[in-house]
Structure 1
Amino acid sequence: MIIVCKKSDDASVEMLTGKFESMGFRTHLSKGTESTIIGLIGDTSKISVEDIEAIDIVEKVQRVSEPYKLVNRKFHNDDTVIDVNGVKIGGGHFAVMAGPCSIESEEQIVSCAKAVKAAGANFLRGGAFKPRTSPYAFRGLKAQGLEFLLTAKKETGLPVVTELMSLEHLDLFNDVDIIQIGARNMQNFEMLAEIGKCRKPILLKRGLANTIEEWLMSAEYIMSGGNENVILCERGIRTFDTATRNTFDVSAIPVLHNLTHLPVIADPSHASGKSALVKPLAKSAVAAGADGLMIEVHPEPSKALCDGAQSLTPEAFENVMTDVRKLCGLENKIL
């Protein structure tokens, strides 16, 4: 249930939230420019809408039928803007995360970081712990890979994004700026609940074959733990078609913006699995209203130990960024 309050002083709003909390409800307060919204979380079926609307400071009351509450735009009408070391995502702020699928050496990740920064990226992505379908494939440098990633961060100043595969590695991520939860862990509910206790921004990728509601419920797990810094990433879903690695669901971007206040970015590299398709899919994501992009870039894709087929060269990435800037109306600016 959401309660929209008229313009009133903070003390009156606090008294009202205190009243609901004394009744056993959790409350979520969202202060907008025109009104204040109180979200009630709990069994509200026995509460009379008419009784609440009779309270002086209440403008209207609305029951929320969706199972997700905290991520729901009805609870928080304004777009959430996530600030990562001064770089903002959401609410009109566009972000680009770029780098190799897998960190292979210090030289590789540092050179890649310098290249993507020069092209206009404002985050460095790179995998230290890699989930691979085959146990015989390269599965990352693990802790050493994280060290190399942080070296690249120090040399370029770019905030870093990398994937957490197990909670036992969480202590190693203290200096990581955004923790990525990959598609295979999207419904690892114990992990989601635990990272909900931290305050680092979380990039939550859509599962291989999950619905949008299931995805939002996973975000709800994180937010219910107190962490409101969640970024959703559309990375393609598994369908019957084999022409691409996955099927890029571009419609998910406007659908999500209608349903949730959280930032939404797109990963055209994983969506297609083909470097030639990254540029058109990236442009389609921007046109659909994405708040950012995640793109794989490797100095020498033909020699990459992981996902070389979908990785762009630094030169190709710069070309993509030129078109992205035009679409964003930022031809002469760094994103």
Structure 2
Amino acid sequence: MTNIIEVKKLRKEFKSYSSRQGLGGAFRDLLNRQYKIIPAVNDVSFTVKQGEMVGYIGENGAGKSTSIKMLTGILTPTSGEVLVNGMNPHKERERFAQTIGVVFGQRSQLWWDIAVQESFRLLKKVYKVSDADYNEHMDHVIKTLDIEPLLDKPVRKLSLGQRMRCELAAALIHNPPLLFLDEPTIGLDVLVKLKIRQFLKEMNEKYKTTILLTTHDLSDIEALCERVVMLDEGKVIYDGALEKLRAHWGEGKQIQFQFAEELIEEQLLFLTADLHVTWQKTDKLNVWTALVLDKEAQMSELIGRIVGAYQITDLSVTEISTEEVIRNIYEKGEALTS
């Protein structure tokens, strides 16, 4: 399989200016500005093969959006090499734009005051899509995303979920081989998220569309991606299979207790001080989650102590979530190499 994205030693630096105090400092700044160089992306290297669905994850400020902007030709790298669809994105922008689709969750490519279908027609002209290709492809997209009732409505009258489905359709008008998704499900309800995930799976299966997905909703990653690239402070700290990440860092169980009365953490810690247990308060009333190693004896001991000391109204045992795995990695500041 050919590589559709090739990134080697990609780096992006920004100047951060500082201001000196007082009027005298302001005059000195006019003549001699003080600044320091901050690397937002620091020698990142990875490849993505045709047809892959890759999760591109990291904390805020890790360098995700900056690197995506370089991959889409919006920003010019400070150094390094980028090849996407066989082209240099920032040097061949017009030709390159014909080969990608982009959805930014907090920005719109649809015109605010005109009907959705008019935006689609304008984009069809921009991408020079023939009537036959447009009808054949977009009939399927519109039907699958269930946006036919929305086509004659102005974008400003759509709900967030309706607009995001239309944004996704707009990004696929020219049926690009590569789709960049930056927080595509942000703020959406569960049903809309499920519809979008199912649609992306269908596009990947039918057209072998390559998808690079950036999101803070790790359930999107779990539902769609077998591989993740994880960034921290502008560097790749993990590139490999999601299952391998979970296998190495996800050992253990989450035991959720719902108590009949309100408890504080100190009470639980006192009861389990000699066990390797981490307690977390949930958003639910009187519900605490215990993270424990996957050892039956330890789990039995923990449950026995808690049940013996407090009245329990509900209890559930689950695998460590991907979200918890990622949190553990960032807290310890290290990860596997693939």
TM-score, normalised with respect to structure 2: 0.32
Return the structure number with greater relative CO, CA threshold 8 A, min gap 6.
2
Question: Is the strand fraction higher in 1 or 2?
Answer: 2
Bigger Rg, structure 1 or 2: 2
TM-score, normalised with respect to structure 1: 0.32
